[in-house]
Amino acid sequence: MNLKFLETFVWVARLRNFSVAAEKLCTTQAAVSNRIATLERELGVRLFERDLRNVGLTPHGQRALPQAEAIMRMVAEFERSISDAGQMRGTVMIGTVDSVVYAWLPRLIERVKETYPNVAIDLNVDTSLNLARQVQDGQIDLGLIMGPVVAPHIRNIELCVFDCLWIASPKLPLKPGRLAIADLTDYPIFAYSKGSQPHHSVLRAIELSGIDIETVRVFNSNSLATITRLIRDGVGVATLPRAVVQEFLDTGELHVLDVEATLPALHFHAVFNDNPGNALPALIADMAAEIAAS
């Protein structure tokens, strides 16, 4: 049995579309149709029901899919265990959030370069919400994001957990000692991008404090470089992981505030499609987990 035909069956079954599967496999729709027809003849059963608009699995196809996926995973594992990592080639599209960039992404990039010298990396920095959608749509191979992502055929590997702290510049004229959120409301509070988990956590903390949310200036940005620059200049207060601002805490440009309202920790995951025939995202995800834990 031709493994390429089996891989084609898996992708058509997942995507429910011959032309989309052809794009994913970098071939033509005619080639995909021919592979499926040949596989069906070899097996003596119909794997798909087809009409003008839809492609669906037959009962035979439904039974075949889990086994075909297991075979493709075994083939990929065999290739990983036997092949020379230095000979692996290709491009991996990685999407990441700013927090990972500041914390340990440079070490991951160096490890990938050392282990897979012939593999190129396309890097995209965006919000977790956008990157999760891009992973599911197949636009990027691997997301290093605040997760997990619960969706079919998506794997999640936990990377690290960052405490989210209240941070400000010592030049900001706040009273010394323990602070309530009411003590911060004279200044803008910089959160992550609107709709993100940290942004919702800040809004929730304000609500629980009994303050009218409409009276508090919560500013949003998906650029941590912008946020850290503004709070270093004393513009306002921010909620950030220590790893993002450690260098400025060490120099004294920023300090951690003792605020009564604690914020939930941020959980980061490596997220990728469980794709047959593409081992690199899983390999790099495992690297990321090792580096994040060190």
End-to-end Cα separation, the chain, in angstroms:
44
The arithmetic mean of pLDDT across residues 5-24, rounded, is: 87
Last residue of a domain, which of 82, 103, 123? 82
Asked if 282 and 228 sit in the same domain, the reply is: no
Q: Which of 82, 114, 134 is the last residue of a domain?
A: 82
Parent domain of 133: 86-159+267-293
Regarding whether 242 and 171 lie in a shared domain, the answer is yes
Identify whether residues 77 and 126 lie together within a single domain. no
CA distance 244 to 241: 6
Q: How far is CA 271 from the centre of its chain?
A: 5
Distance of CA 152 to the CA centre of its chain: 15
pLDDT (tens digit per residue) in 165-216: 999 999 999 999 999 999 999 999 998 888 888 899 999 999 999 998 888 8
Asked if residue 231 and residue 180 are part of one domain, the reply reads yes
Give the global pTM. Answer: 0.75
Do 152 and 273 lie in a common domain? yes
CATH code for the domain of 10: 1.10.10.10
Give pLDDT tens digits for 114-148: 998 989 999 999 999 999 999 988 889 999 999 89
DSSP 215-231: GS-EEE-S-HHHHHHHH
One domain for residues 207 and 129:
no
Please tell me whether residues 147 and 272 are part of one structural domain: yes
Backbone angles phi, psi at 239, to 5 degrees: -110, 110
